[in-house]
Structure 1
């Protein structure tokens, strides 16, 4: 009977093949300086890797990963000494073992240990990737009716929510005269630091008014912008990693080679030198958010709708179509870049180059059908804002209108074929699509707003819609080539 393969661990590191990158520092010398709430795949593929790059020279910034409820990450990685494998996906996949997470706790099981960590003076930064729902918001304010928030307000010493833990740690530090930690949201939310600060202050005010005043005066909540495609771990990845390492990794992760992290340079305590690991420290996160929204997300939606009409399945397949790829590049360089204000240290043309390379990456299977979801929410912020600014500035909008028209045709095709439309306005869109009438869509005030009354826009949109008709692959190619 074949013996089970050994598990990835600190002891196994010397046995790994030379092609596998491993920590270049002494794991035992690393001390915890960061508590991270939500050590899921994105954190382990993104922020933890930046920290890993720093630990050889800055060993005081190891991470304590805290899962609020699930024990999955802890149970997978604790037997591996916190180590896991990152697969960087490109033409050649490379493997790297990450050791930045030196402790793993489950808050629902190890509450005292979590609260003790948060109170330690050595912990100077608390980071979060808990998804939007983890902030327990109702609109822009904290949701006081949320079960976890209601529990925490009644029993703030034994919190359940991320907000409750952040405030409990700060409360203990305040009581003991310890400097506060910076609280850094790394979730993909615009203005994430502002939203987190507002929620924390609203919650703290109901727990302890003096504490809330101290937090408001002393604690920093920087905004950040994060970007890297991180496909889910599957059995194929586990097997590929096991074959390459010669040992089992219970939870490897994978992402594209490209990664971006822009952090507002506003901390209330010491911080790691993230810029030495490739992060950008800036005072204009909104500018970077806008650049990402317009230059990455706008073209993504363009590929989704025009590529779907061409009966293509993935982003990389769409970029393999010369006419569509050429259109995307012209849209980015000639129509979207001029809409971006200058950002110190930001080269928009180099950013375009990087995005186009990402789109072409055949190792990332990004489905157009998935990107096409929720168009009524995405189109206004990804494309219509750029169109409105172009009209104000007197720039042409014809090319920008083609993906918007593509969305109308896409919705109409779904409605015609009886395919479910994944969108908050699904029923309304199905009715609009059934008519195929541009005016029916323009009446969606929550989507088009004031643009619906601008004849320059409506004329250009109707022309683009007509150019794509009857929305067959050949019709789309003809429109792209015009």
Structure 2
């Protein structure tokens, strides 16, 4: 069996025998509609996107709540597009690692197009300009890790690539933040159309970090005479360009050998992981835990997909911040850190094995329930106790999680 656009149409029975769920929508029609009038571009084409965010849009497509998918772009590792997206018609085998040690499979088909965000590739940049000048584009989102927003070196000077982008102007942008600023400039020139620019990376105040980096580049271009004050005003107007904050929580570890072996044994071809030229260890499948959370500030000046109907918490900035504080300061990170320290001291090599140690389990339960809950920041949209329950009972003991102390 080969995972491609033809097989999910012509070999439905064969996929069903292998226990693989297929997209319930017309994949070809979705692809054509998305390419003609895109609504969503995502930068960062790796596992958290494929195993979580793309699956959210698939749910909306399956339920008839959307008719267009996502355009995926990578600003760093172009091999991901060339070797993981293109050969499989932008499909992903999503393998859920259930807490009881079983797995479930679904082919995610919500990605209509995979692009290399490479300013030296004229054809690719022409495509990006076409997308960004479409008035109907609603959002661009990011999972490029926190370091993807960084412009400065540890000594406080600009990274050489960023300095070059500033000196040479929008036409030669290479850094991810410079490229975003350059594409927003194209959108401004086309009609100053509104857009939401959404970081979905796992870091505090992610929208603020993204906004600061984009504005730093844009203001530097203003000083160099590449852009006018009207472009800065456009980026600064939340009714035009919004930078919502978000909180994301889902573990999508590197491809697991057991999952790979199961797929290969079932005759699903080309599932073996590859190592890209940028040393990314990746495969045509994504394995991920079942629990997942995405909380997003509901600030989308040009409309948005009905993400709340796919399980996303759409709320205000204060609640996003409270949810992030709940996770990081009380309900997950302190437990994970404490058991990691003692796990190393006791010679454990896996978090899931630590969860068989009664003393460690007692420790993290005390940290979470006895010491944490009385002082937790309660975001109200989810229960802190239920969050800890899931961490202790499902997430940390999961035998598939290659999580080392």
TM-score (norm 1): 0.71
Find the partner of 1:302 among 334, 338, 341.
338
Greater CA drift, 184-193 or 102-111:
102-111
Deviation, structure 1 residue 198: 1.3
CA distance in 2: counterparts of 1:198 and 1:300, whole angstroms? 31
Determine whether 1:7 maps to 2:2: yes
Number of residues paired by the alignment?
A: 362
Deviation at 1:180, TM superposition (A): 2.3
- Looking at structure 2, the residues matched to 77 and 42 of structure 1 have their Cα atoms a distance apart, in angstroms, of 15
**CA deviation map 1:207-257 (0-9, x unaligned):** 222201111012110111111111112565434223336443462111111
Name the CA shift for 1:244/1:264 in 2 (closer, same or farther; >3 Å): farther
Matching residue of 1:450 = none
1:365 matched to 2:397? The reply is: no
CA RMSD in angstroms, aligned pairs only: 2.1
Tell me which residue corresponds to 1:131: 145
| Cα 1:122/1:58, change in 2 over 3 Å | farther
Aligned position for 1:117: 131
**Unaligned residue ranges in structure 2 (runs of 5+):** 222-226, 272-282
Q: 1:273 aligns with which of 300, 306, 321?
A: 306
Higher relative contact order (CA 8 A, sep 6+): 2
CA distance, structure 1, for counterparts of residue 261 and residue 80 of structure 2: 18
Deviation at 1:69, TM superposition (A): 3.8
C-alpha distance in structure 2 between counterparts of 1:52 and 1:68, whole Å: 23
- Please list, as runs of the form range in 1=range in 2, the aligned pairs for 1:184-333 lying within 5 A after superposition: 184-207=198-221, 208=227, 209-217=229-237, 218-233=240-255, 236-244=258-266, 246-249=268-271, 251-283=284-316, 284-293=319-328, 294-333=330-369
Aligned to 2:379: 343
1:147 aligns with 2:160: yes
Matched, 1:161 2:175: yes
Give 1:308 deviation, angstroms: 2.3
Tell me which residue corresponds to 2:49. Answer: 43
Residues 22-41 of structure 1: pairs in structure 2 closer than 5 A: 22-30=22-30, 31=34, 32-41=38-47
CA deviation profile, 1:410-442 (whole Å, cap 9, x unmatched) = xxxxxxxxxxxxxxxxxxxxxxxxxxxxxxxxx
Tell me if structure 2 keeps the 8 A contact 1:233–1:253: yes
CA distance in structure 2 between the aligned counterparts of 1:242 and 1:84, rounded to whole angstroms = 15
The structure number with the bigger radius of gyration is 1
Whether the 8 Å CA contact 1:9–1:81 is kept in 2: the answer is yes
Measure, in 2, the Cα distance between the counterparts of 1:92 and 1:183: 37
1:70-85 pair list within 5 angstroms: 70-75=77-82, 76-85=84-93
Structure 2 CA distance for aligned equivalents of residues 148 and 115 of structure 1: 22
In 2, the alpha carbon distance for the partners of 1:73 and 1:327 equals 41
Shift of 1:114: 2.1
Q: Distance in 1 between matches of 2:163 and 2:134?
A: 27
Q: Which residue of 2 aligns with 1:408?
A: none
Matches within 5 A, 1:60-75: 60-75=67-82
**CA positional deviation for 1:320:** 0.8
Superposition deviation, residue 178 in structure 1: 4.6
Q: Which has the higher helix share?
A: 1
| Separation in 1, partners of 2:348, 2:61 | 44
2:349 touches 2:404 (CA, 8 Å); kept in 1? Answer: yes
SS of residue paired to 2:314: strand
* TM-score normalised by length of structure 2: 0.84
Q: Give the drift of 1:166.
A: 1.7
Unaligned runs of 5+ in 1: 1-5, 369-482
Q: In structure 1, how many angstroms separate the alpha carbons of the residues matched to 2:130 and 2:247? A: 29
DSSP-derived class of the 1:311 partner? coil
Distance in 1 (CA, whole Å) between partners of 2:293 and 2:153 is 28
